[in-house]
């Protein structure tokens, strides 16, 4: 397991010069941590990869650059357009679909599923339907999308297929591990890093403290990559 504390994460293997339409999530520390985890997976021609919530397409393009056949899904039309443009500029084959990941992948299985889902705890009980918050807000415990991915993972993965998912320690990594293990997957926390709170968390400090999700004056957020294999 990789453990980094207070370390500045860099883009590393991610493609540079990515464009992003307004409201599309740009690669940040969680993307970089997931990109590092992705470098440890075997990818190449014949590997089928799915990215759930592709945003700019950064992670999907990283996999495509290594020769994998990649499908990327996002509920945002702006993200779909952004990922398609970034793929076209790099002349990399990338299938980018709009809609819910379960509906758009029905009947398909993959060797690798990679995802940086919305995971920031938010006061509203439902997922936002528009705006930049769509990329990060995920209900009062931050697990509205995480739990759907956990439930869908066994049907999305081929035998020996791998899920890589990044999310905040506020969302309960142990719950993610337990749910994926309970679904029959071999699961571990593959990487951790502590990063300074960003503007979204800082704007919700009082609410997060009242919910017991953060301590007073807390300034660091733990990010984790959960790796699950369909054994």
Asked whether 193 and 168 are in contact (CB, 8 A), the reply is no
Percent of the chain with pLDDT over 70: 95
In a domain, 38, yes or no: yes
Token pair for residue 199? 């503007």
In a domain, 18, yes or no: no
Rounded-to-integer distance, Cα 31 and Cα 37, Å = 10
- DSSP lists the bridge partners of residue 70 as 49
For residue 167, give the nearest of 133, 215, 117 by alpha carbon: 117
Find the CATH number of the domain harbouring 43.
3.40.50.150
In a domain, 151, yes or no: yes
Asked whether 78 and 63 are in contact (CB, 8 A), the reply is no
pTM above 0.85, yes or no: yes
Token pair for residue 130? 């528009």
| pLDDT tens column, 81-98 | 999 999 999 999 999 999
Rounded-to-integer distance, Cα 76 and Cα 63, Å = 21
In a domain, 136, yes or no: yes
DSSP of 139-204: -TTS-HHHHHHHHHHHHHEEEEEEEEEEEEGGG-HHHHHHHHHHTT-EEEEEEEEEEE--HHHHHT
In a domain, 146, yes or no: yes
pLDDT on residue 216: 86
For residue 53, give the nearest of 109, 119, 108, 110 by alpha carbon: 119
pLDDT on residue 17: 87
Residue 26 pLDDT exceeds 70: yes
Asked whether 43 and 64 are in contact (CB, 8 A), the reply is no
| pLDDT tens column, 149-171 | 999 999 999 999 999 999 999 99
Residue 33 pLDDT exceeds 80: yes
In a domain, 199, yes or no: yes
Rounded-to-integer distance, Cα 169 and Cα 21, Å = 29
Rounded-to-integer distance, Cα 230 and Cα 222, Å = 26
Any residues with CB less than 8 A from the CB of 216 and at least 6 apart, and which? 209
In a domain, 54, yes or no: yes
Tell me how many domains the chain contains: 1
Q: What is the rounded radius of gyration, in angstroms, for the C-alpha atoms of the chain? A: 16
In a domain, 188, yes or no: yes
Structural domain of 80? 2-13+23-229
pLDDT on residue 5: 42
């Amino acid at each position: 397991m990789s453990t980094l504390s207070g370390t500045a994460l860099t883009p590393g293997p991610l493609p540079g010069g990515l464009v992003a339409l307004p409201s599309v999530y740009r690669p940040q520390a969680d993307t970089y941590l997931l990109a590092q985890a992705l470098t440890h997976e075997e990818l190449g021609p014949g590997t089928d990869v799915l990215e759930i919530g592709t945003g700019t397409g950064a992670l999907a393009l990283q996999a495509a650059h290594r020769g994998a056949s990649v499908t990327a899904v996002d509920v945002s039309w702006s993200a779909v357009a952004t990922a398609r443009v970034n793929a076209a500029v790099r002349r990399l084959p990338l299938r980018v679909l709009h809609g819910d990941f379960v509906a758009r992948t029905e009947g398909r299985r993959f060797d690798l599923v990679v995802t940086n889902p919305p995971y920031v705890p938010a006061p509203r009980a439902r997922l936002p339907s528009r705006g930049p918050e769509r990329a990060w807000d995920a209900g009062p415990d931050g697990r509205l999308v995480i739990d759907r991915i956990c439930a869908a993972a066994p049907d999305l993965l081929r035998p020996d297929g791998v899920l890589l998912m990044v999310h905040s320690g506020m969302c309960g990594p142990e719950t993610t591990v337990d749910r994926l293990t309970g679904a029959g997957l071999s699961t571990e926390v593959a990487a951790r890093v502590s990063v300074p709170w960003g503007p979204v968390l800082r704007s919700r400090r009082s609410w997060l403290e009242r919910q017991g999700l953060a301590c007073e004056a807390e300034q660091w957020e733990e990010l984790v990559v959960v790796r699950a294999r369909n054994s």
